Structure 1
Amino acid sequence: MIKLLAWIGCGFVGTVLLLPTETYTNLIGYYKYVSLFCLIYFIYGFTLALWRGRRSALLQLFGWLVFVATAIHDIAYSNDRIIWIDLQLVPYGFILLVFIEAMELARRFTNAYRTIGTMSDELIAMNRMKDEFLANTSHELKTPASRQDDCSAAANEQTSGRAFVPRACTGAA
């Protein structure tokens, strides 16, 4: 659906760039209908996100509803259907939408930095635990190794004629 709408939009842009003014001016009504359909599709998407419990979908839905309302007003105004407000409202709706999207983006960055800070603290704690584990493991591994070194030294001394053998090497504890 999105690709189809994108191709239709490219077709409208192509008519503006390639065809004479009279031709694309006659197509402006179709452009308005496609624009309204796209905006309704956006509203459907944000309503679906709100229904699925997505964060901040309500705020974005509100922003898009205001923008769609201003777009509908301006389309009706350009067709001489509204005469009581002599003003184009889409720029104001767009500014509100951009402000809402900026707030949402700032909220997401704040949450991301908060998550990064929490994960960093957890990684530091896990690194400390790893260091303690390696220190304990190293100590535990060195103790039998030093016994083996003593036993091998004793065996070397025994072969050289000395008769001293440590108790740990004989199996007597």
Structure 2
Amino acid sequence: MVMERNNVVTFKGKPVTLLGPELHVGDRAPDFTVVDNGLSPVTLATYSGKVKVISAVPSLDTPVCEMETRRFNQEAATLPDKVVVLTISLDLPFAQKRWCGAANIDRVITLSDYQERSFGLAYGVLIKELKLLSRSIFVIDRTDIIRYIQHVPEVTREPDYGAVMDAVKNLNQPESVSSSA
């Protein structure tokens, strides 16, 4: 049975139900299987050893999702190579590829959860009523621990980009103390 969560987000002012667990900062990031623009499977392990910024959006073909993905594409240009920015939606991979080409998106990797809803259900962001992903951001460190979560309270609004980028930059600070096992 899939967990249902209410009163987390709204869509056009109306509360919607999110399917899946409530994740917390400090949790191990759940695995998922999505597909890239060539229909090849992609999992969390695909980006092992990297900081992952995962931006879940309802559809790239909407104004707010377009603005968000363009903004993260600009921000990604300022980040080190050890950081990857992923945008996951339920759009078909062919549509994602076409959209990225038309929008000159070259730093954000778009991935589709259309086949199994694996990401949406594992991360608790699948909107039951719409069968779309809720606008949410997860920052996951190199060891696959969730370090930042932002569920945008109203799905039709943009996220707090500054807070996301601060979380990423804090993970990329040189460690002041080296640990030994």
Q: Which range, TM-score by smaller chain? A: under 0.3
Structure with higher RCO (Cα < 8 A, 6+ apart) = 2
Which is helix-richer, 1 or 2? 1
Which is strand-richer, 1 or 2? 2
The structure number with the bigger radius of gyration is: 1
Structure-1-length-normalised TM-score = 0.27
